[in-house]
């Protein structure tokens, strides 16, 4: 097998949570489909996932849209049961879903209930996704789990970036993403002998029509001089999903334009 062949995902079934979403999810799913995978996207929106699947199939890719709620453990179980019933396997899980409505408000205004709500999807939901995926992958003797974390799970916020804007970075987000990174290491150690690799990707700031002042400050601070775009995560995800990274586990791959270099 040549080195480029190791990046192929032909014959692999991949689940991308929030995989039809407008930010990371959609671009991740496109990259995996272009690498040859059978891609299943799932989130609360049936219409969005099915429409995305139709668009991708028209381009010749094998993509399917399903529905689940990251905050509902029974819904997560039903999703994995459906994948096993339809495809008979799960080779790769990409945890891209984020319960955005659980991450609101500055530290002074958050409440214990805010944290409980964030934890329901982004801790309990993440746990159950991984637990069900491991259950399937152990039977195959191989698999790859990729958790999408953040630079804010590695370093804290630069408050100067947000001055003069209404943007807020809730502390629940930092707490959750940092926990995700170490949870990744735990799973990597615990299931390595079962042939399951578990890695993390920590993206930098994704351009999403933020205020001009924020964008300018961000671009001036990051070594590559720009915010992340739609295609910047695709190569990293395909690498970690494929045999090209067969000896990589427990890693936190920083895709941040050099943000965390200083």
Residue 186, token pair as written in the block:
């735990």
At 101 the pLDDT is 67
| Whether the predicted model's global pTM rises above the 0.75 cut | yes
DSSP for 37-60, please give it.
Answer: -EEEEEES-HHHHHHHHHHHHHTT
At 194 the pLDDT is 98
Mind listing the domains of the chain with CATH numbers? Answer: 4-261 (3.40.50.720)
Looking up tokens 């804010």 gives 152
Single out the catalytic residue among 27, 29, 43, 150: 150
Residue 231, token pair as written in the block:
């295609």
Single out the catalytic residue among 29, 144, 177, 245: 177
Active site residue 46: no
Pair 53, 29: CB distance under 8 Å = no
At 248 the pLDDT is 98
Single out the catalytic residue among 29, 43, 173, 202: 173
Rounded Cα gap, residues 34 and 56, in angstroms: 10
Pair 90, 84: CB distance under 8 Å = yes
Q: What is the 3-state secondary structure (H, E, C) of 191-228?
A: HHHHCEEEEEEEECCECCCCCHHHHHHHHHHCCCCCCE
Active site residue 150: yes
Closest of 174, 165, 143, 100 to residue 241, by C-alpha: 143
pLDDT tens digit at each of 262 positions of the chain: 788 899 999 999 999 999 999 888 999 999 999 999 999 999 999 999 999 999 999 999 999 999 999 999 999 999 999 999 999 999 999 999 987 666 778 888 888 888 888 888 899 999 999 999 999 999 999 999 999 999 999 999 888 898 888 888 888 999 999 999 999 999 999 999 999 999 999 999 999 989 999 999 999 999 999 999 989 999 999 999 999 999 999 999 999 999 999 8
Active site residue 138: no
At 24 the pLDDT is 87
DSSP letter, residue 187: H
Pair 53, 65: CB distance under 8 Å = yes
At 100 the pLDDT is 64
Closest of 19, 185, 205 to residue 97, by C-alpha: 19
Rounded Cα gap, residues 67 and 76, in angstroms: 9
């Amino acid at each position: 097998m040549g080195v480029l062949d190791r990046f192929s995902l032909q014959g692999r079934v991949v689940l991308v949570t929030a995989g039809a979403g407008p930010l990371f999810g959609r671009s991740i799913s496109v990259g995996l489909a272009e690498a040859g995978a059978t891609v299943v996207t799932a989130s609360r929106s049936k219409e969005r996932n099915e429409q995305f699947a139709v668009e991708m199939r028209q381009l010749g890719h094998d993509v399917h849209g399903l529905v689940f709620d990251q905050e509902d453990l029974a819904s997560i179980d039903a999703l994995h049961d459906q994948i096993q019933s339809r495809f008979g396997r799960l080779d790769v899980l990409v945890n891209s879903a984020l319960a955005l409505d659980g991450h609101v408000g500055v530290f002074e205004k958050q409440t214990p209930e805010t944290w409980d709500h964030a934890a329901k999807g982004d801790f309990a939901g993440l746990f159950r996704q991984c637990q069900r995926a491991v259950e399937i992958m152990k039977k195959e003797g191989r698999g790859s789990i990729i958790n999408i974390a953040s630079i804010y799970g590695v370093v804290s916020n630069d408050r100067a970036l947000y001055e003069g804007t209404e943007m807020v970075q809730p502390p629940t987000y930092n707490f959750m993403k940092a926990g995700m990174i170490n949870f990744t290491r735990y799973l990597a150690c615990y299931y390595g002998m079962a042939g399951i690799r578990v890695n993390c990707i920590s993206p930098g700031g994704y351009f999403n029509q933020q205020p001009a002042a924020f964008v300018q400050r961000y671009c001036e601070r990051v070594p590559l001089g720009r915010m992340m775009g739609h295609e910047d995560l695709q190569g990293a995800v395909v690498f970690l999903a494929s045999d090209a990274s067969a000896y990589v586990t427990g890693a936190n791959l920083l895709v941040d334009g050099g943000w965390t270099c200083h």
